[in-house]
Structure 1
Amino acid sequence: MAITFGYARVSTSTQNLDAQRDALIAAGVDARHLRVETASGRRDDRPVLAALLTEVDAGDTVVVAKLDRLGRSVSHLVHVVDELERRDVALRSLSEQIDTSTSAGRFMVHMLAALAQMEADLIRERTLDGLAAARSRGRVGGRPTVMSPDRIAAAQMSLAGGQSMAAVARALGVSVSTVRRHMANLQRGPMDGKAVGQ
């Protein structure tokens, strides 16, 4: 027999669950099938929610007072909804009036998925634009280099005097790969060696 489960969540133990409980029970959730959790919505590893997702069977329904009780990020919310849909479990959100057992509710979920993808694409695009702008100004990501022009000149003179790269690196307090990289950049020329980090 199909079961209607309720899921209620608060972020801290000082918050009150009564309003969510009352709304879920009024919506037809039997108190025996009400699952309550105290955890931040930003966490993906919520044990009560994880247990609920394994407990539900095809034909069951999960009811929440608001969609943000399942997760604060659109991408995590879409992941949970996808998991429920894959297992043929309906989701009802009382506040947003979404019911994935209806075609309109499924449409809303697909809209959420599209928004999650758009959000990810926009973040990626902004990151790439920021990196390109930084490169055009001669900056790159990573830690700032410890190899000042004076240290590079000292390393160059020491190597020319016959010291090993390991000895030079030890004397300067940097890695051998840092010395090697800066010496290679000197050989390539100033244009290629502008933005090198340690």
Structure 2
Amino acid sequence: MKFGYVRVSAKDQNTERQLKKMHELKIEDRYIFVDKQSGKDFDRPRYQALRLMIREGDLVYLDALDRLGRDYDGIIREWKYITRDLNADIVVLENETLFDSRKFKTMGDLGKLMEDQFLSLLSYVAEQERKKTKQRQAEGIVVALEKGVKFGRPKHEASEGFKGVYDEWKAGGVTAVAAMKKLDMKPNTFYRRVKEHEGTILHQ
């Protein structure tokens, strides 16, 4: 049976390009598994569902090796689990000449050695790319903060929303639990904001 695995790192990223490749391979939609989640680990719902379905002789298609994941040890572990423990196969469309586990199997022990070398190299590259992406994101946030960019809801808007619910709570119109629910706050956050707000009132 043929399966396709598609992954993007965030919910707002587009999967169409990867899905198009899977459809061109005549893989049915019900056998295409899509995750919109970081590749830092393998605790992804659709990947885990795919993992449970794979049987000996099945074939799993990936657009690129980093779609499987971006953790060096994890990529190698999962690849070997699928191709050696389950005796299924993986084809990486981006590097199909190098990454088609069926080819390595026909080469016996030499094939295993070559497969391990290629996997180690590309898994390392995938992990380094993830680290670079995280570093670029962190650097971008620092630069934005230095330029005065504000993250999250505007403070005035948040304060006005809190003040209205606070006044209602103080007047006995709602319970503390109901107030927290309205504001989507946890107890410690709610009471911290109450303390800050009351401190502001005292100093006015």
In the superposition, the TM-score normalised over structure 2's length comes to: 0.52
Matches within 5 A, 1:1-198: 3-85=1-83, 86-97=85-96, 98-103=99-104, 108-115=114-121
Instruction: Check 1:69–1:118 CA distance in 2 against 1; reply closer, same or farther (3 A cut).
Output: closer
- How far residue 117 of structure 1 moved from its aligned partner, in angstroms, is 10
What is the alpha-carbon distance in structure 1 between the residues aligned to residue 102 and residue 60 of structure 2? 11
- How far residue 60 of structure 1 moved from its aligned partner, in angstroms, is 0.3
- The alignment partner of 2:75 has SS state of helix
What is the alpha-carbon distance in structure 2 between the residues aligned to residue 117 and residue 23 of structure 1? 22
1:95-137 Cα shifts (integer Å, max 9, x gaps)? 0111101127755531145549999xxxxxxxxxxxxxxxxxx
- The alignment partner of 1:111 has SS state of helix
What is the alpha-carbon distance in structure 1 between the residues aligned to residue 17 and residue 119 of structure 2? 29
- How far residue 46 of structure 1 moved from its aligned partner, in angstroms, is 1.2
Do 2:60 and 2:91's aligned partners in 1 also have CA atoms closer than 8 Å?
yes
Do 1:10 and 1:37's aligned partners in 2 also have CA atoms closer than 8 Å?
yes
- Structure 1 residue identity aligned to 2:87: D
Do 1:9 and 1:37's aligned partners in 2 also have CA atoms closer than 8 Å?
yes
- Structure 1 residue identity aligned to 2:86: R
What is the alpha-carbon distance in structure 2 between the residues aligned to residue 34 and residue 68 of structure 1? 17
Gaps of 5+ in 1: 120-198
Number of residue pairs matched by the alignment = 117
1:143-165 Cα shifts (integer Å, max 9, x gaps)? xxxxxxxxxxxxxxxxxxxxxxx
What is the alpha-carbon distance in structure 2 between the residues aligned to residue 108 and residue 22 of structure 1? 30
- The alignment partner of 2:117 has SS state of helix
Calculate percent identity across the aligned residue pairs.
Answer: 27
More helix by share: 2
- The alignment partner of 2:52 has SS state of helix
- How far residue 30 of structure 1 moved from its aligned partner, in angstroms, is 2.0
- Structure 1 residue identity aligned to 2:37: A
Give the number of the structure whose alpha-carbon radius of gyration is greater: 1
1:14-70 Cα shifts (integer Å, max 9, x gaps)? 100000000112123222211111110112311211121111110001101111000
Aligned-residue CA RMSD (Å): 2.5
- The alignment partner of 1:6 has SS state of strand
Instruction: Check 1:113–1:92 CA distance in 2 against 1; reply closer, same or farther (3 A cut).
Output: closer
Instruction: Check 1:108–1:38 CA distance in 2 against 1; reply closer, same or farther (3 A cut).
Output: farther
Instruction: Check 1:34–1:115 CA distance in 2 against 1; reply closer, same or farther (3 A cut).
Output: same
